[in-house]
Structure 1
Amino acid sequence: MTDADAEAGPDADAALPEDVDAVRAALVEWYEADHRSFPWRETTDPYRILVCEVMSQQTQLERVEAAYRAFLEAWPTVEDLAAADRADVVGFWTDHRLGYNNRATYLHTAAGQVVEDYDGAFPETPDELQELHGVGPYTANAVASFAFNGGNAVVDTNVKRVLHRAFDVEDSDSAFEEAAQRLMPDGESRTWNNAIMELGGVACGKVPRCDEAGCPWRGSCRAYETGDFTAPDVPTQPSFEGSRRQMRGRVVRTLREYDDLALDALGPRVRVDYAPGGTFGRAWLRDLLSDLADDGLVELDERDGDTVARLRR
């Protein structure tokens, strides 16, 4: 048992799967096999990581990447930024549509602190990093994790969505933090936090891409099993029993057992009251399957006049 396991409370133990080691290994293997390439993932320079984290606040990564490269061309080191004219930094922020200009001033001030108060060497722990102007708990922990491999589990919107869907973790900050910390292997914050955020960004977005992205947690994922992909940042759905999401789950479970099924072969396996021309008939089932196809979970073909469904691989 790791230190994180020993410190976790009963709620975290109840939410997470029994074989936590296998879950950890599956995610790290998935991430290391293939992941999106971003320049801030290729460095452990705390200055560059801080620039990325400040830019990424409520800004799309596609826009951040171009701005990040340009920013570092203008001010490649923390000393360069500290010596820059603040108006130039704010002007850059505005030109690249990076959100609130106060983030530019915070970053500029923080650079000055590192140079003047820390002789150019960044503090390394989350608590110390929060002494920098405008650096809150999340950003401090991210810099500690990705620059120094010494942070706690990062809990952003993507991570909350993953934990809620996969392990039914309660929608509360304390529950998410506890579960995330228990899952993270000791001393591996850099790889782990990158991996779980990648999972949320690539496979478990608001519209899930479980099979298409090869999600490594499908075998233990509550949402994949039930078809209920509600999450903290996804609108709450009605009660589960008899609901559309329960039927979605039945479709997914049924199609796991067969290569493909036509509507009238699939329907009775989803609802006992399925009748081709009835309320819960072909039109109802086509609509359900269309939703699953839009979510990237099911493929639909027309064959000999019949709609045929299969799980998307």
Structure 2
Amino acid sequence: MTAEAQEWSLPDDLEAVRETLIAWYEADHRDFPWRRIDNPYAILVSEVMSQQTQLGRVVEAWEAFLERWPTTADLADADRADVVSFWTAHSLGYNNRAKYLHEAARQVEEEYRGEFPATPDELQELMGVGPYTANAVASFAFNNGDAVVDTNVKRVLYRAFDVPDDDATFEDAASGLMPTGRSRVWNNAIMELGGVACEQTPKCDEAGCPWREWCSAYASGDFTAPDVPTQPSFEGSRRQFRGRVIATLREYDELELDALGHRIRVDYTPNGEYGREWLEGLLTDLESDGLVELDHDGGALVARLHR
């Protein structure tokens, strides 16, 4: 199906569509711990961790993180290097996310007197919080969000109601579907539908999809969906070596360039493809992010964690 050829509309019996999905979700859904709470800080941590990590692996890291830093005040007072080290140790993706989460906690404490902002627009003022994350926190913590539109939701809308593969149209359709004042349960429910029933390989009957009677794809057997971007491999990636730099500097305090290079990759050679020039670029990025400090000590470049 092409976007130009598609015609779409929401069902006339919207109330039945809504209530059927909510009833399906409330009867049985994946029991992630952040779904049982309305603490905006804990929900923000879960959202940031989930951006690059499978939900099943997030649970252990999320619980350990909150045990160590249970409030925004605790996180704001933490050493940033400790937060980044935790992120690296739990393979949670880009270390920048740890830095931004740390800075967001400081903002809540210093700019909002410890009270979390409650609307999507206000939440976007926090460091590293974009429209999707802001809306998710507003929805799940305050029941005050707009319709969430992620990859799973797009796939559901495309298949069920022939919504064209266009971001603005997806937003309109998602907003039209969501019942007023119920963003918490609705956004959880429609994401659950995309996550367990309307996957890339759908499980309509197996998962008991509640929208089968309205779904165009189920009626036609055509389960094509918008392209889903693939996550770049972590193994051998730049972000993996950024994490190794941070972990190594925590162990050795400070290291000259070549000593550091040999400790973070076995194929490091000073003048090779992965040598001084490559490592200096990596360190410069980390310095720009406020994570390391660089010092020319008697001509030799020395790296240490930012204090």
- Global fold match (TM > 0.5): yes
Structure 2: distance between partners of 1:209 and 1:14: 23
For 1:130-209, list aligned pairs within 5 A.
130-209=124-203
- Counterpart for residue 121 of structure 1: 115
- Counterpart for residue 105 of structure 1: 99
Tell me if the contact between 1:158 and 1:205 (Cα under 8 Å) persists in the aligned partners: yes
For 1:206-245, list aligned pairs within 5 A.
206-233=200-227
Tell me if the contact between 1:157 and 1:233 (Cα under 8 Å) persists in the aligned partners: no
Structure 1: distance between partners of 2:65 and 2:165: 37
**Cα deviation 1:79-103 (Å, max 9, x = unaligned):** 1111111000000000000000000
- Counterpart for residue 286 of structure 1: none
**Cα deviation 1:153-174 (Å, max 9, x = unaligned):** 0000000000000000010000
The alignment partner of 1:220 has SS state of coil
Structure 1: distance between partners of 2:52 and 2:175: 24
Change (3 A) 1:14 1:161: closer
**Cα deviation 1:210-241 (Å, max 9, x = unaligned):** 00000000011011111111111369xxxxxx
- Paired AA for residue 24 in structure 2: W
The alignment partner of 2:226 has SS state of coil
- Paired AA for residue 173 in structure 1: D
**Cα deviation 1:85-130 (Å, max 9, x = unaligned):** 1000000000000000000000000000000000100000100000
Q: Is structure 2 residue 35 aligned with structure 1 residue 68?
A: no
- Paired AA for residue 95 in structure 1: A
The alignment partner of 1:218 has SS state of coil
- Counterpart for residue 243 of structure 2: none
Structure 1: distance between partners of 2:86 and 2:42: 16
**Cα deviation 1:27-57 (Å, max 9, x = unaligned):** 0010011111001101100000000010011
Q: Is structure 2 residue 86 aligned with structure 1 residue 81?
A: no
With the length of structure 1 as denominator, give the TM-score of the two structures.
Answer: 0.70
The alignment partner of 2:117 has SS state of coil
Tell me if the contact between 2:179 and 2:186 (Cα under 8 Å) persists in the aligned partners: yes
With the length of structure 2 as denominator, give the TM-score of the two structures.
Answer: 0.71
Paired positions, count: 224
Structure 2: distance between partners of 1:136 and 1:180: 18
Structure 1: distance between partners of 2:115 and 2:228: 41
Structure 1: distance between partners of 2:182 and 2:133: 18
Structure 2: distance between partners of 1:68 and 1:233: 30
Q: Is structure 2 residue 22 aligned with structure 1 residue 28?
A: yes
Deviation at 1:58, TM superposition (A): 2.3
Tell me if the contact between 2:119 and 2:138 (Cα under 8 Å) persists in the aligned partners: yes
Structure 2: distance between partners of 1:115 and 1:35: 34
- Counterpart for residue 52 of structure 1: 46
Deviation at 1:14, TM superposition (A): 4.3
Tell me if the contact between 1:126 and 1:137 (Cα under 8 Å) persists in the aligned partners: yes
Tell me if the contact between 1:206 and 1:233 (Cα under 8 Å) persists in the aligned partners: no
Structure 2: distance between partners of 1:200 and 1:76: 31
Structure 2: distance between partners of 1:49 and 1:207: 29
- Counterpart for residue 3 of structure 2: none
Tell me if the contact between 2:49 and 2:92 (Cα under 8 Å) persists in the aligned partners: yes
Identical aligned residues as a percent: 73
Structure 2: distance between partners of 1:67 and 1:26: 34
- Paired AA for residue 165 in structure 2: D
- Give the root-mean-square deviation of aligned CA atoms: 1.5
Structure 2: distance between partners of 1:58 and 1:177: 23
Deviation at 1:17, TM superposition (A): 1.1
Structure 1 stretches of 4+ with a deviation exceeding 6 A read none
Structure 1: distance between partners of 2:27 and 2:149: 23
